[in-house]
Amino acid sequence: MIRFIAGAIFLLSSLTAAEPLRVLHIHPHRMDEMEDAVYASFLERALEQAAAENYAWVLLEINTPGGELTATFAIKDHILKSRVPTVCFVNSHAISAGSLVALACEKIYMAPQGVIGAAQPITINQEGMQKAPEKVVSAARAAWRATAESRGRNAAIAEAFVDENVILTKARDGLDKKAGVLLTLSATEAVRLKIADGLARTRGEIPVFRDQPVVFISASPTFREQLLSFLLHPAIAGILLGLGFLGLVIEIRTPGWGIPGSLGLLFLAIYFISRIALGLSGWGAPALFAFGFLLLLLEIFVIPGFGIAGIAGIIAVVVAILWSYGVRDLSGGLWVLTIAMLSLVLGVLLFFILLPRLAGHTSGSRAGLFLNETLDPDEDESDQRLRALQGELGRTVTTLRPSGVIQIGHRRYDAVTGGEYLEPGTPVRVTGLFQHSLLVEAAVTAKGKKKPLPNQKRRKSSSK
């Protein structure tokens, strides 16, 4: 009988025991390992997951030196709109953008060694880090103030995180701060000034979790989020653009359409689509880029010389890249564009100068990487007849950029240069064979000048 009663009591207590709190835990390294815009998207999805799966709390553990301002505003908005209560654990640093993320949470607890503040907006350019324009500082100051007010915290202290010109008094704000000093608080100061709700050495010591069983479940990024974070990293984005440019440059310098041009378009498509996927850019930027590229093709293959179309094409390409970053992050666009140009220059040096020379030393090739004169034993009869023309002189019928048509005697042949552009009527000499086309170079006179066509002389004399 006693055993029966004891068993019933145990069963009843187990049924009535409180279920453990389910807390969705977002680790601090998530903010560091993901690009800011991707982190904003990841956090939005995690908060929606917490609401759909009835989590009791969302714990954001923060240890960050800051981030990009536009993405930080998005992160702040997602937290303020969360349908699940949020608690922030500042595990060391909530500097710059991290302070706004902390202020947006309903509860803030800090490790004893933690600090919060120092949120003055900066821009990065060729001269290094500089204070952002007053327009940006004013917008940031308003965002920090409104966020603090929405959570019942001291708005003046939040503004002092952002603007060094904010003055605080001990009687009104709990501490004195003169103009010209940016505010950063230690953990004990933040608690005393009621910016933070308390101290905690670990997440388990946070009061809302301390006196009851808790299950912490980590939020993990999806493969898509990890991939986008990788692609949106400024260095990777710049390299993608540089490789895209390089592929198109190689394609322009070789006849037909092949792998380099296809890869170039693929790299450019990856760059733009990765930004469109997160809503960082619309389709206008890639459309403008395509328009600029078409203008450049028109300048190269149709219009002689280099004029308005080429200049307009370059401007359109540059504006399209900056547009993909938006007005708020022009410095980021300039930084990525700089990396792209460096990648392009290095690629051109590698493919058009270094490797052709290496190929020339090792295989005896005269034309280098793309125009190799090695003899293929499996050449068909037509190729052998073309190779027999090596050393013959002729004239260009069309512009060679670098491919086109030449005439030898009374016959016309497809031809390609080693990279130089030749105008119609330019004397050329056949130096070899490349992909079923004659490989030619400009023939020069004893004085080192190209021979003009006789009809060119007649046109010049008749125009006088």
* Contact of 25 with 203, CB cutoff 8 Å: yes
Predicted confidence (pLDDT) per residue in 37-89, tens digit: 888 889 999 999 999 999 999 999 999 888 888 889 999 999 999 999 999 99
Mean residue pLDDT of the chain comes to 80
- Confidence at 196, pLDDT banded by 50, 70, 90: very high
Enumerate the domain spans of the chain: 19-222, 233-361, 381-463
Pairing of strands 57-64, 86-95: parallel
Residue 288 pLDDT exceeds 50: yes
CA angle 143, 147, 152 (to 5 degrees): 145
On the CB side of 116, CA atoms within 13 Å amount to: 29
For the domain with range 381-463, which CATH number is right: 2.40.50.140, 3.40.1030.10, 2.10.240.10, 3.30.830.10? Answer: 2.40.50.140
Residue 359 pLDDT exceeds 70: no
Locus of tokens 């990841």: 42
Q: What are phi and psi of 374, to 5 degrees?
A: -65, 145
Q: In a 3-state reduction of DSSP, which class is residue 90?
A: strand
Position with higher pLDDT, 170 vs 6: 170
For the domain with range 19-222, which CATH number is right: 3.40.50.720, 3.90.226.10, 3.90.550.10, 3.40.50.300? Answer: 3.90.226.10
Task: Give the Å distances, CA to CA, from 145 to 157, 163, 190, 416, 426.
Answer: 8, 11, 16, 66, 71
Rounded CA-CA distance 215/57 in Å is 10
Pick from 28, 96, 37: nearest CA to 276: 37
Predicted confidence (pLDDT) per residue in 217-254, tens digit: 999 888 888 888 888 888 898 999 999 988 888 777 66
Least confident of 100-104, 135-139, 216-220, 415-419: 415-419
DSSP string for residues in 187-255 = HHHHHHTTSS-EE-SSGGGSHHHHTS-EEEEE----HHHHHHHHHHSHHHHHHHHHHHHHHHHHHHTSS
- pTM score over 0.85: no
**For residues 121-130, average pLDDT:** 73
Rounded CA-CA distance 4/12 in Å is 12
The token pair at 146 is 């409104």
Amino acid identity, position 163: D
Partner residues linked to 185 by β-bridges: 116
